[in-house]
Amino acid sequence: MRTAFIDALFDLAAEDDRVHLVVGDLGFSVVDKFAQAYPDRFLNAGVAEQNMTGIAAGIALNGGVVFTYSIANFSTLRCLEQIRNDVCYHRANVKVVSVGGGLAYGNLGVTHHATEDLAIMRSLPGMVVEAPGDPVEARLATRALVARDGPAYLRLGKAGEALVHESDPEYKIGKAITLREGGDVAILSTGGMLRTAVDVADRLASQGIGARVLSMHSVSPLDIKAVEAAAADTRSIVTLEEHGVVGGLGGAVAEVLAELPPGHAPLKRIGLAPEFISVVGDQEYLRKVHGLDEESVLKTIQKFVGKSIGILR
């Protein structure tokens, strides 16, 4: 995803001289070509994310479209006050970009896990929160954010994420993308779990269970109409995210469902428990330990669907 992002940003910078990139002293194998092509619009702020964000706000308030870039928890949590006060309060045209959302930096331990970022960033007034599901969505999200004024958060994977879309879908901020149709369960996925969601849906289909799959790339603004339609048209709803179950996509969907009249589809949130991860391993290993690998997600959904509608025997 990060390569798709920087390639898109590079092209956008050629089209729009407002585009700037400010980094927190990392990613040089990725951002080198931008720095070399646009040295007057590139800045390494060093390991000083508060300064990085303040500088970005200043450039934005003077007409720039500024992307900040760092590892997910560094570009968000370390400089949260500056994002809130300098960027959001002033409605500055700053796009906070995180690389390594979720457990992508798993083997570096909990200090490098981004498992609360969606919850925190979507709580900020005026902040758009985008978590694309594959490199295609990452490229389209980058273009969409340049075209949209105001603060935004773009949550990316690290590298090597599989393509899910064979062609460019219609990508609009605040509107979900439908990848599969089905009436038994709706799987609402955000970020890098999209490949898992699609593969699980295909396996459920082979068992006679129809699964609708939605890429909820916009966590804020949420596609409320898509959630309401899933609640009305399907028999159960599952949210899937590599993030804590508190406050992320699952929390956002639960907020919508809580205000609907009784009788809608029940909700199951699949994500990380609200606790620090005490084991060390790569992303694939940690997903398996915490029930986010394909087999675990499949079993969780099978059990939930079975309880909800009595399909499974």
pLDDT digits (tens, 9 = 90+) for 39-54: 999 999 999 999 999 9
Give pLDDT, residue 301.
98
Query: What does the pLDDT read at residue 309?
Result: 59
Cis before residue 221, ω within 30 degrees of 0?
A: yes
- pLDDT averaged over every residue in the chain: 95
Cα separation, 170 vs 178, in Å, equals: 10
| Full set of structural domains in the chain with CATH | 2-156 (3.40.50.970), 177-309 (3.40.50.920)
pLDDT of 310 reads 54
Q: Quick: pLDDT tens for 145-164.
A: 999 999 999 999 987 788 99
In one-letter notation, the amino acid at residue 109 is G
State the average pLDDT over residues 220-246: 97
Q: Please report which confidence band the pLDDT of residue 235 belongs to, taking 50, 70 and 90 as the band edges.
A: very high
